[in-house]
């Protein structure tokens, strides 16, 4: 699922205290709104897969380095379900399904190829083939989705992630400048955000 933050029909009281605290730290309201909406949207995705009410689902994250509120997300009531979320100012998306799930949304920078980004995130073979920012961001979102699946790190973006054999890729554009990639273990489909829950 993906859309504008104001299209997510879910109340903020579904958020955990950790999520509310993290959301409150954003300097700009638009960024806070995107963060909150993505965290609510992933509950809607998980609820649709599980056949339960989304307000009964608790989203958790934990990483050894940063503690609670960081790391790969999971649903406390269904930790075996793969979930992922992403947000960029004005656009949010989330995915849920069996196995590992990764989703990412990024804006395409205007202008000529962003060479520094291309050099840091693309393999030499990819770098030779990519000439514009649209293709650069398409490949970058795929790799970010792989990071969210636990298969790449920021440090290995430029040396891997160009072969998706054994995984399923779903991509779409959200308007003229946002690219989205979902990488899953099983075929995925794009669902529409429900008008109400």
Question: How many structural domains comprise the chain?
Answer: 1
Q: For residue 197, is it within any domain?
A: no
Model pLDDT for residues 26-70, shown as the tens digit of each residue: 999 999 999 999 999 999 999 999 999 999 999 998 777 776 766
Q: Looking up tokens 């290995």, which residue turns up?
A: 156
Q: For residue 132, is it within any domain?
A: yes
Model pLDDT for residues 81-126, shown as the tens digit of each residue: 999 999 999 999 999 999 999 999 999 999 999 999 999 999 999 9
Model pLDDT for residues 132-191, shown as the tens digit of each residue: 999 999 999 999 999 999 999 888 888 888 899 999 999 999 999 999 999 999 999 999
> What pLDDT score was predicted for residue 164?
93
Q: For residue 50, is it within any domain?
A: yes
Domain containing residue 141: CATH number: 3.90.470.20
Domain that holds residue 117: 2-184
Residue 14: is its pLDDT beyond 70? yes
Q: For residue 170, is it within any domain?
A: yes
List the one residue out of 20, 177, 1 whose CA is nearest residue 96.
1
What's the first-to-final CA gap in the chain, in angstroms? Answer: 14
Q: Which pTM was predicted?
A: 0.92
């Amino acid at each position: 699922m993906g859309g504008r933050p104001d299209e997510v029909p879910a109340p903020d009281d579904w958020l955990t205290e950790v999520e509310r605290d993290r959301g409150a730290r954003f300097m700009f309201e638009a960024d806070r709104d995107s963060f909150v909406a993505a965290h609510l949207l992933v509950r809607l995705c998980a609820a649709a897969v599980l056949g339960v009410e989304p307000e009964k689902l608790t989203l958790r994250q934990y990483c050894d380095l940063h503690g609670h509120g960081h790391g790969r997300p999971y649903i406390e009531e269904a930790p075996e379900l793969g979930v992922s979320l992403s947000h960029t100012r004005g656009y949010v998306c989330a995915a849920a399904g069996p196995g590992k799930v990764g989703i990412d949304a990024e804006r395409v920078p205007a202008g000529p190829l962003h060479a520094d980004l291309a050099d840091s995130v693309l393999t030499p073979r990819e770098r030779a083939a990519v000439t514009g920012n649209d293709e650069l961001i398409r490949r970058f979102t795929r790799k970010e989705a792989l990071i969210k699946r636990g298969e790449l790190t920021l440090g290995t973006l430029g040396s891997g992630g160009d072969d998706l054999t054994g995984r399923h890729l779903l991509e779409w554009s959200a308007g003229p400048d946002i690219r989205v990639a979902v990488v899953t273990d099983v075929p995925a489909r794009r669902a529409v955000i429900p008008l109400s829950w």
